[in-house]
């Protein structure tokens, strides 16, 4: 089976297992997803959603973020971890979006990476979820599951390397949703310490499972 054939077979299975997959972060405006994704670093999506329910109520516009003190923002997000750094980034990002982008979230990697606190993973989330581009955000779940299933091999040791491999072989139209499929699979089934292989719908395609059976 070629890499392209494997990627196609895996995504078809994931489509069946997770037919209702959507972005787990709650947001109304594009910049809210940007901010929520920044908050999700070293924090669960569930915790971020709890925090942003208060955060976006207390600061309902980009202008309110730009005008707020870092201390006031930090107080709301302190349960997210690294809250002082994240508060600084949210305020600075709001200011840049207002001054340089007319209050709009940019739709391309180069401009997104200019925003304070935005790395490649966050930029890919925005491109994929907001603009439906064929961008693959590689977090710890995507990285782990991609290796275990066999979508990438052990030579791909960085998130960027994994991203390039996944984008190369996963059907382009499925890339935006495949990101969510892989995250859900890693979160609920293919967990880091105790993967639930007996409940996995990808056993026949999974290299990790097949190798475990041989052992």
Known catalytic residues are: 121, 139
CB-CB neighbours of 79 under 10 Å: 12
CA–CA distance from 81 to each of 42, 44, 55, 74, 123 (Å)? 7, 10, 15, 10, 20
Q: Which residues have C-beta within 8 Å of that of residue 127, sequence separation ≥ 6?
A: 107, 108, 109, 112, 133, 135
State the Cα–Cα distance between residues 122 and 48, nearest whole angstrom. 14
């Amino acid at each position: 089976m070629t890499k392209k054939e494997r990627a196609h077979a895996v995504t078809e299975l994931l489509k069946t297992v997770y037919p209702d997959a959507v972005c787990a972060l709650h947001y109304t405006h594009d910049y809210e997803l940007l901010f929520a994704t920044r908050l999700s670093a070293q924090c669960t999506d569930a915790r971020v959603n709890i925090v942003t329910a208060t955060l976006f109520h207390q600061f309902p516009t980009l202008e309110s973020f730009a005008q707020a003190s870092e201390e006031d923002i930090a107080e709301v997000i302190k349960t997210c971890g690294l809250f002082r750094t994240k508060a600084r980034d949210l305020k600075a990002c709001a200011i840049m979006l207002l001054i340089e982008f007319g209050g709009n979230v940019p739709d391309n990697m180069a401009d997104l990476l200019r925003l304070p606190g935005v790395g490649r993973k966050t930029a890919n989330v925005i491109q994929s979820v907001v603009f439906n581009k064929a961008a693959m955000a590689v977090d710890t779940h995507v990285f782990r599951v991609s290796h275990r299933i066999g979508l990438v091999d052990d030579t791909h040791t960085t998130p960027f390397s994994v991203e390039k491999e996944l984008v190369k072989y996963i059907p382009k139209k499925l890339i935006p949703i495949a990101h969510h499929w892989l995250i859900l699979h890693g979160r609920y089934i293919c967990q880091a310490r105790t993967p639930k292989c007996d409940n996995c719908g990808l056993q026949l395609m999974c290299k990790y499972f097949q190798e475990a059976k041989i052992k």
